[in-house]
Amino acid sequence: MSADPLSWLISLEGVPSAFAAARDGIDVVLRDRGLRRTSPESTGESLLRGAHASAVLEGSASSLADVRAGEVDAVAADAVRVSTALLGLAPTLSRSPLQALARLHTLAATGSVDDTELGRPRDAGAAERLQALARLLSGGTEVPALVLAAVVHADLATAAPFASHNGLVARAAERLVLVAKGVDEKSLTVPEAAHLALRAEYESNLRGYRDGGRNGVHAWLLYAAEAFAAGAEASPLRREAE
């Protein structure tokens, strides 16, 4: 039995090729970016679009225009607060994953739950799930970073280890893994927008990951590869290149 708990994922049919294609799609966008200068505004726009999409998936009724104007409902305000601090957590994710995940929840849930619940697992089982994710993020797996990001996202979303806002935390953690692992260091792709555009498939495959055993995990990974590719296409860099 392999010491890497995720090694079996990259033996699943279609997974290596799907994730290689997704990474190629991301690299094409970022390579195009490398031919010209980008500004912090490009990263800010990506984060803003991601916050809006994640908030809608969490139940927000705020439009993207509302988010731009700062006239948002509570859920969108939570998502924007997370996105504003996200990039600063990349070093912490690599050094102290549990601290980074706790901080994501604190950012998302401040004002919504009791202060004693901020950043804390809701029970012993949730604590174990978070510790398992922390081990993976600390170098406990050698799978490609995109695969790791997909697993972290699905595990947080389906295990719901925190008292609230687990969807926001899961999607933020996915983006943060892409930054911390060097896939998209300036956070210019928008995976959250892809999940919103593919909402029916996104929600169905998360249920499959939770309830469907090996087949459900397999289906989630194939979906995630598609979403990462679509997230690259949703980058503000694409608009700038037109």
Domains of the chain: 7-241 (1.10.3290.10)
Distance CA 202, CA 208 (A): 10
Say if CB 174 and CB 191 are below 8 A apart: yes
Amino acid 181 reads K
Map tokens 């988010």 to a residue: 67
Q: What is the largest CA-CA distance in the chain?
A: 53
Give the pLDDT confidence score for residue 242 in this predicted structure. 44
Give the pLDDT confidence score for residue 238 in this predicted structure. 81
Say if CB 88 and CB 99 are below 8 A apart: no
Distance CA 31, CA 164 (A): 38
Distance CA 145, CA 165 (A): 24
Distance CA 84, CA 103 (A): 13
Q: What does the chain come to in residues?
A: 242
Give the pLDDT confidence score for residue 1 in this predicted structure. 45
Among the listed residues 32, 23, 3, the one whose alpha carbon sits nearest the alpha carbon of residue 183: 23
Among the listed residues 175, 152, 178, 154, the one whose alpha carbon sits nearest the alpha carbon of residue 79: 175
Alpha-carbon distances, residue 19 vs 23, 70, 92, 155, 238 (angstroms): 6, 36, 26, 18, 21
Alpha-carbon distances, residue 71 vs 63, 80, 169 (angstroms): 9, 11, 22
Handedness of CA 2, 216, 175, 164 (dihedral sign): negative
pLDDT surpassing 90 at residue 203: yes
20-34, 41-55, 101-115, 187-201, range with the lowest pLDDT: 20-34
Distance CA 97, CA 99 (A): 5
Distance CA 66, CA 234 (A): 19
Q: What is the mean pLDDT of the chain?
A: 95
| pLDDT tens-digit series, residues 99-141 | 999 999 999 999 999 999 999 999 999 999 999 999 999 999 9
